[in-house]
Structure 1
Amino acid sequence: MSYDAIVIGGGFYGLRVAMHLRERCGSRSVLVLEAAQELMGRASYTNQARVHNGYHYPRSLLTGYRSQVNFPRFVEEYRDAVVSDFPHYYGIARTLSKTSARQFELFCRRIGSKVGPAPAAISSLFDSSRIEELFLVQEPAFDSRILRRLLLERIECIGGIDIEVGVRVERVEGRHGTIEVHAPGITFRAPRVVSALYSGTNVLLEASDLPVIGLQHELTELALVELPDELEGAAFTVMDGPFFSLMPFPSRGLHSLSHVRYTPHHRWSERAAGETRDPYDLIRRLQGHSRFSSMKADVVRYFPGARRMEHRDSLYEAKTVLARSSGDDSRPILYRPDHGIPGYTCVMGGKLDNIYDVLLELEHQHAA
């Protein structure tokens, strides 16, 4: 079966890239292939559901600034999926933090993100001997299920985009000016293929005898918790170091709890052939091994007001960044056109709002 373009991966990036190829890059027929039985059911769902407005990256001015630039565009495009009816507080720890309260405030003002002091009633819920200062910021959440619905409604209106779930791509191969995408029992062909596989990027590259990309992976646990009534409807993030974040998780009506120290259960890097591992094989072994008790014990040291939060569930997923980003906390996009095969492009972003930088690169490539 032949198409103008094929997108491998049915997460948020894969669906949004398919729309862009159809609307802005001259592809009259686009195919999206997703290995799971559900679209946007992996990393697009299992995350903090944070719509980044730059605050999270005080050690990477460019990442913070690009988040702040992309923030209003994402909010406008997906307004129905954005949940903003809650206050969000960022606390800066007195010790072990890589950023001081003064540095954080200056960073926010430099990138243009609004920041102000938290009310005294909220600050009193934290241990002042451990928290230097608490700030009120503007950073909403998103409901991934509503986001998926919005994308699929728009795809249906656009037309020309086919979606196949339960199709695991085994390898890609360049042949006679086209790219063959091989899945069990069927081969698809297109002159242009975009891999939006996130943590599975190198698995397919190695299976296709193509150069792997320097990536770092973490197998992570996102705890879903119920907060006491006095904290319900607010978000709390303590940074910049081995700390934690409590964010509304709208699709479940709970809060997510992530912790820099305890959320990652396992970490590894891929820089060459032979080092790749399928993260979803590893995730299956991780199910049920929760570190919530360790997360909570550390949270209440800084935030005694959260002592009565209750664990309701845990979600396990792979988190992937460029290997060179592990030290400075930056989140640049991965965009590799013609990666080993003319017309084969690998894309990856560390945040949902990175998508606009990916779409811009696709337009530049199309215009070239």
Structure 2
Amino acid sequence: MKNNIIIGGGFYGLYIAEYLAKKGHAVHLFDEALDFMQRASFNNQARVHNGYHYPRSTLTALRSRISYPVFLKEFKDSVYLDFKKYYMVGQPLGKISAYQFEQFCKRIKAPCKAASPEIWDYVDRRYISGIYETEEVAFDAVKLKNTMLIRALNAGVILNNGTKVNRIEKLSCGKINVFSESIDGEAMVYTVDQVFNCTYSNINQINLNSSIEVIPLRHELTEMCLVKLPTEIEKLSFTVMCGPFFSIMPFPSTKFSTFSHVRYTPHFDWNDRKNEPIYSSNKVLEDNHPTNWRRMVNDGTRYMPILKGCKYQTSLWETKTILPASDRDDSRPILFKSNYVIKGYHCVMGGKIDNIYDVINMIKKYELDR
């Protein structure tokens, strides 16, 4: 049996913690927030990808096609099905044609059929060359969190919320010291066999504090608008492919939908590079930022005039972290660095919720669950 610490109480951290505990290992999970799954696991589109989103990365699409039914089966009580999902091909700025999207769906064997004429009535045909009814669901982040907390506790995971891990240290005996601080200032040191860094945008903060080489990553400050859709389309979801377009998805933990835009959801970006200062994503989120809602809806209305009737509610702000390779082909590979600089120290990150199954496969591959 190994003693493990998981840093980061998002979906990945909770899932890995439960997995290791069920394998018979001792597991402590730490998150600096007072509740779990409050950051990137909550502040996103809540989309369970079924491959459609990645016509420029067939490998990512195929991985989604494999993991999609697994996620739906495992978390059937946390997914939202009461809507129809449409993918639309935008023009003239699109990077694919309607024909290419159809062929792509055939290639990855994703259900896709031409939309009915009444759906076409919602769009300006000058800017949309194809509309397709597809199969994709959303997840309820609150229900998913509650499910994972119950599962983790039942597996024997010791949950430590309101506790920040500042740094780690390699010991000559081969173990790792983990230095933490509770919200009331109490400092603790834990000596363990393995540490999984699942802090997403803050992975390099712990690396830097621990004199461990920084992993090249790119970050974006993102804004996801929550809106009330016009009654005619409140049970519908639209994603315009593939370029500087927009997407509308149900956000099941509320009665609203997310409205995001490729051009206006990211406000600015920065990079983690070796031998350079690290910009804290937490501090970025503490600042007040002006909304891009008006820009998003003005552009979206060109494609779908009915969107003029959207009523803005609020915005979800988050730091989106991306591997530099994803900029080239829109792929969403996982980051999995086992025994990174220190034996027993593993850095883990994924860009989609269903990437968790790829992470578990890597844990098995490197026998970190032994």
- What is the TM-score with the length of structure 2 in the denominator? 0.96
Q: Which amino acid aligns with 1:291?
A: N
Is the counterpart of residue 169 in structure 1 residue 170 in structure 2? no
Alignment correspondent of 2:95: 98
Deviation at 1:156, TM superposition (A): 2.4
Structure 1 unmatched runs, 5+: none
Separation in 1, partners of 2:277, 2:48: 33
Question: Could you say which residue in structure 1 is the equivalent of 2:3?
Answer: 4
Does the 8 Å CA contact 1:92/1:101 hold for their aligned counterparts? yes
Distance 1:193 1:277 in 2: 23
Q: CA deviation at 1:214?
A: 1.3
Which residue of 51, 54, 61 corresponds with 1:54? 51
Q: What is the Cα deviation at residue 366 of structure 1?
A: 1.7
Deviations 1:259-294 (A, max 9, x none): 01100111112121324211110111134x111001
Report SS of the residue matched to 1:153. helix
Q: Percent identity?
A: 42
Report the secondary structure of 1:147's partner residue: helix
Residue 262 of structure 1 aligns with which residue?
264
Of 224, 227, 251, the match for 1:225: 227
Pairwise CA distance, 1:76: 0.4
Amino acid at match of 2:212: L
Instruction: Report the CA distance between 1:3 and its aligned residue.
Output: 6.9
Q: Give runs of aligned pairs for residues 42-81 of structure 1, distance below 5 A.
A: 42-81=39-78
Q: Which residue is equivalent to 1:298?
A: 299
Cα distance, 1:275–1:54 mapped onto 2, change above 3 Å: farther
2:209 partner amino acid: A
On the 8 A contact 1:90/1:238 being kept in 2, the answer is yes
Quick one: which amino acid aligns to residue 340 of structure 1?
A: V
1:169-223: CA deviation from partner (whole Å, max 9, x where unpaired): 1111111211111113111121111000101011111111101111111000010
Instruction: Tell me, in whole angstroms, the C-alpha distance in 1 between the residues paired with 2:155 and 2:316.
Output: 33
Helix, strand or coil at the partner of 2:218 = strand
8 A Cα contact 1:3 1:31, kept in partner = no
Partner of 1:346: 347
* Structure 2 stretches lacking a partner, 5+ long: 182-186
8 Å CA contact 1:206, 1:273 repeated in 2 = no
Q: Match of 2:318?
A: 317
Q: What is the Cα deviation at residue 304 of structure 1?
A: 0.7
Q: Is residue 108 of structure 1 aligned with residue 105 of structure 2?
A: yes
In structure 2, give the amino acid aligned to 1:276. I
Deviation (angstroms), 1:139: 0.6
SS of residue matched to 2:232: coil
Contact 1:70/1:353 (<8 A) preserved: yes
Letter of the structure 2 residue corresponding to residue 264 of structure 1: P
Q: 1:306 to 1:291 in 2, by over 3 A?
A: same
- Give 2:215's aligned residue: 213
Paired residues in the alignment total 363
Aligned partner of 1:167: which letter?
T
| Structure-2 residue corresponding to 1:41 | 38
2:143 corresponds in structure 1 to 146
Counterpart CA distance in 1 for 2:62 and 2:232 is: 33
Instruction: Give the structure 2 partner of residue 22 of structure 1.
Output: 21
> 2:105 corresponds to which letter in structure 1?
C
Query: Which amino acid is the alignment partner of residue 142 of structure 1?
Result: F
Task: Kindly state the Cα deviation for residue 323 of structure 1 after the two structures are TM-superposed.
Answer: 1.1
Are 1:57 and 1:329, in contact at CA under 8 Å, matched by a contact in 2?
yes
Tell me which amino acid in the other structure corresponds to 2:4.
Answer: A
CA distance in 1, matches of 2:200, 2:177: 20
**Counterpart residue identity of residue 73, structure 1:** V
What is the CA–CA distance in structure 2 between the aligned matches of 1:258 and 1:69, rounded to whole Å? Answer: 26
Whether the 8 Å contact between 1:141 and 1:247 is mirrored in structure 2 is yes
Which residue identity does 2:8 align to in structure 1?
Answer: G
What is residue 184 of structure 2 aligned with on the other side?
none
Matches within 5 A, 1:111-126: 111-126=108-123
- Measure the CA separation in 1 of the matches of 2:271 and 2:153: 38
Q: TM-score, normalised by structure 1?
A: 0.96
